[in-house]
Structure formats: structure tokens, C-alpha cells
């Protein structure tokens, strides 16, 4: 029975979660309570929206005219890193409690592949700057919704009678896999 559950969990994780949830570390680390998850979601919304805006402007008005589009990944990483530093400094100064709650996960937004993935996807799909902004913002809103839902699931299952093998990380990954299946039902609606 345990081998079957392991195989099903592995299939869910490999085929669904990694495709649906780019940047999984915030789901595992930050989503322990809803308040922290909402703060992380807000930070990702801000960074991803601003990153989509700035990267598309830099791409279309600097990289393309200079014919150095091949440098887009490096340029985007630098832009995202700068934006995350800005958010980190702002939270440290203005919202100290959220800054402490997010801890090490705040700088990890820099390496969150969802932020970089949206920026690259925007220019690969040749979206206009306005559509890049909207795509980045609503992708980040989806990320925020998913992380808050997962946090609420974690809070509800915290005190439940769960088999020892599923406590902690396995339960999180199983819940994330089921959420990914649910969210994949929305694909292709537009």
C-alpha cells in the first residue's frame, strides 16, 4: 500500500506540481499560516508586476534596438534582483513583522522561477508592454491565491490525525498536487 501511495504521489509531483507551480519553495516554506502567505503573495504581486513592466520596457527599448536580445535572461535576473532588494528594504523599514515572518524566503523571490518565467514568456510571446504588465500582475495574483489556499489547507490539517508517513512535507506536496489538478481544470478556458 505504501509503495502505491508513493508512486501516486511521485506521479502527481513530477507531472503536475512542477509544471503548475513554478517556484515551489515559497509553497513549502512560507505557507505555514495564512497571514504570512498573504504577505508573501503581496510581495510577489508587487515584484512580478513591476518586473514584467521594467523587463518589457528594457527589452523593447534597449535590448532590441541594440540587437542584443540574447542577453535578456541576464538582464531580467539583474532587474528582478534589484526589485526584490527594494521590496526587502521597504518591508524591513515599514512592515518589520512581515519582514521577520518571511525571513529567508523574501530574498528567494529573486530566484523564484515564476518571476523570471513570466518575464521571459512575455517577450517570447511578443506581448505589448501593457499586456506584459497585465500578464505579470494576474500571474502573480494566481500565485498569491494558490499560496494562501495552501496555507489555509496546512492550517486546517495541522491538528488532524494523519499517518506518520504523510506528516510535514509529504502532506504539503500531496495537497499541492491536488491543487494543481484542480487549477489545471481552468486551463484552456480562454
What are the cell numbers at 69?
536580445
Residue 13 or residue 99, greater confidence: 99
Assess if residue 171 is contained within a domain.
no
The helix or strand, by DSSP H or E, that contains position 178, with its residue range, turns out to be helix 169-184
Assess if residue 86 is contained within a domain.
yes
Name the pLDDT band for 70 (thresholds 50, 70, 90). Answer: very high
Q: What is the pLDDT of residue 115?
A: 87
Name the pLDDT band for 71 (thresholds 50, 70, 90). Answer: very high
Domain total in the chain = 1
Quote the distance between the C-alpha of residue 190 and its chain's center: 22
Assess if residue 19 is contained within a domain.
no
Cα(188)–Cα(190) distance, integer angstroms = 5
Assess if residue 175 is contained within a domain.
no
Q: Domain of 122?
A: 28-156
- Backbone φ and ψ for 115, nearest 5 degrees, come out as -65, -50
Cα(169)–Cα(18) distance, integer angstroms = 15
Assess if residue 83 is contained within a domain.
yes
Render pLDDT for 133-148 as a digit per residue (tens, 0 to 9): 999 999 889 888 888 8
Whether the Cβ atoms of residue 106 and residue 87 lie closer than 8 Å to each other:
yes
With 60 as the cut, is the pLDDT of residue 10 above it? no
Angle at 56 between CA 55 and CA 59, to 5 degrees: 85
Q: What is the pLDDT of residue 75?
A: 93
Assess if residue 9 is contained within a domain.
no
The DSSP secondary-structure symbol of 31 reads T
Q: What is the pLDDT of residue 29?
A: 58
With 80 as the cut, is the pLDDT of residue 109 above it? no
109: how many CB neighbours lie within 10 A of its CB? 26
Assess if residue 72 is contained within a domain.
yes
Assess if residue 170 is contained within a domain.
no
With 90 as the cut, is the pLDDT of residue 63 above it? yes
Angle at 156 between CA 12 and CA 6, to 5 degrees: 25
Amino acid at each position: 500500500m505504501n509503495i502505491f501511495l508513493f508512486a501516486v504521489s511521485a506521479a502527481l509531483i513530477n507531472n503536475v506540481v512542477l509544471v503548475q507551480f513554478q517556484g515551489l519553495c515559497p509553497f513549502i516554506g512560507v505557507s505555514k499560516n495564512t497571514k504570512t502567505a498573504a504577505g508573501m503573495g503581496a510581495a510577489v504581486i508587487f515584484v512580478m508586476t513591476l518586473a514584467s513592466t521594467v523587463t518589457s520596457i528594457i527589452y523593447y527599448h534597449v535590448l532590441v534596438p541594440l540587437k542584443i536580445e540574447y542577453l535578456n535572461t541576464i538582464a531580467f535576473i539583474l532587474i528582478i534582483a534589484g526589485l526584490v532588494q527594494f521590496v526587502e528594504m521597504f518591508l524591513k523599514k515599514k512592515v518589520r513583522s512581515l519582514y521577520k515572518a518571511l525571513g529567508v524566503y523574501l530574498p528567494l523571490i529573486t530566484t523564484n522561477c515564476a518571476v523570471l518565467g513570466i518575464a521571459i514568456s512575455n517577450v517570447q510571446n511578443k506581448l505589448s508592454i501593457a499586456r506584459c504588465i497585465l500578464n505579470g500582475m494576474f500571474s502573480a495574483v494566481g500565485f498569491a491565491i494558490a499560496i494562501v489556499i495552501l496555507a489555509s489547507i496546512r492550517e486546517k490539517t495541522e491538528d488532524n490525525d494523519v499517518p506518520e508517513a504523510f506528516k510535514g512535507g509529504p502532506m504539503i506536496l500531496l495537497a499541492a498536487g491536488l491543487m494543481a489538478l484542480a487549477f489545471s481544470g481552468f486551463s484552456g478556458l480562454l
